[in-house]
Amino acid sequence: MKTSPAVTHPKSLLAALALGGTLLLTGCAGNPPTEQFAVTNTVVKSAVAAGGPEYAPVPMKAAQDKLAAAESLLRDDQYEQARMMAEQAEWDARVAERTALATKAQKTLQDSQQGVQQIREEGARTPIIVQ
């Protein structure tokens, strides 16, 4: 019975996998993370439009600061660090957007409840005249 080279030489297989992984990572590190930057910019703009600066200023500022840092890293050709920083900026912007939307929804709910309460109070004060 003939065995495959991978079975007879597991160290060779591990070495080949390690070399392939290293080459793959090196190849990725050499390319600007343009797709990640496009996603991050879109999410940051969406968070701003949702009211992030007003309703979620801390995560919004973090997102904008990290995006600026990522852009600086990109200019310095530090692509992997730039990609990671852009990802962090994206998630901070997502938190800001969701926080802003939730805060605005909560405010709308409170305003509606206050309006209902005012209508009830007016109804209790105004006598109903039946003829």
Q: pLDDT tens, 57-101? A: 999 999 999 999 999 999 999 999 999 999 999 999 999 999 999
Q: Tell me which DSSP letter residue 31 carries.
A: S
Mean pLDDT of the chain: 84
- Sequence-distant (6+) residues with CB within 8 A of 5 are 12
**What's the length of the chain?**
131
**Rounded Cα gap, residues 26 and 16, in angstroms:** 15
Does the pLDDT of residue 21 top 80, yes or no?
A: no
pLDDT the model gives residue 100: 97
Contact 93, 60 (CB under 8 A): yes
pLDDT band at residue 23 under the 50/70/90 scheme: very low
Integer Cα distance of 110 and 107 in angstroms: 5
| The predicted structure's pLDDT at residue 81 | 98
* pLDDT at 25 (0 to 100): 46
Q: Summarize pLDDT for 73-83 with one digit per residue, the tens.
A: 999 999 999 99
Amino acid, single-letter form, for residue 126: T
Residue 22 has pLDDT above 90, yes or no: no
pLDDT of 11 reads: 59
What's the pLDDT score for residue 6?
Answer: 46
Least confident stretch, 1-5, 95-99, 108-112, 123-127: 1-5
